[in-house]
Amino acid sequence: DQQVKQNSPSLSVQEGRISILNCDYTNSMFDYFLWYKKYPAEGPTFLISISSIKDKNEDGRFTVFLNKSAKHLSLHIVPSQPGDSAVYFCAASARSQGNLIFGKGTKLSVKP
């Protein structure tokens, strides 16, 4: 059973517009959530994270929102740039675990 779900395999957005990537989770013990970005032939790189005690975290063009009651988080990229085209992975963890659980990823394409 998938504990972290990214239901959209792909997303296409025009340059300058907002990109919204979504992630749902089922395990109520998760207390820390992260987004990773991955370019082809490279390892994933950490993008932004949020603790369960917050509902929003912002870093430049990237904002992550957490809705604990809905077990849902989203990543907003504003404005989107062609260089943002990559696969984005959502990940979650609980303090009792020693690892992250990753979603399957969403491929974002930003068109010039």
- Cα-Cα-Cα-Cα dihedral sign, residues 10, 22, 25, 38: positive
47-50, Cβ contacts within 8 angstroms, sequence gap of 24 or more? 47/75, 47/88, 48/75
Considering only the stretches 10-18, 33-41, 59-67, 76-84, report the one whose residues sit in contact with other proteins under the rule CB under 8 A. 33-41
Of 15 and 31, the one with the shorter C-beta distance to other proteins is 31
Of 8 and 14, the one with the shorter C-beta distance to other proteins is 8
Q: Is 42 in the site for other proteins (CB under 8 A)?
A: yes
Q: Is 93 in the site for other proteins (CB under 8 A)?
A: yes
Q: What b-and-e string marks burial along 75-85, b requiring 16 or more CB atoms within 10 Å of the CB? A: bbbeebeeebb
Q: Is 45 in the site for other proteins (CB under 8 A)?
A: yes
Radius of gyration of the chain (CA): 13
Using CB under 8 A as the criterion, which residues of the chain lie in contact with other proteins when the complex forms? 9, 32, 34, 36, 41-46, 49, 89, 93, 95, 97-100, 102-105
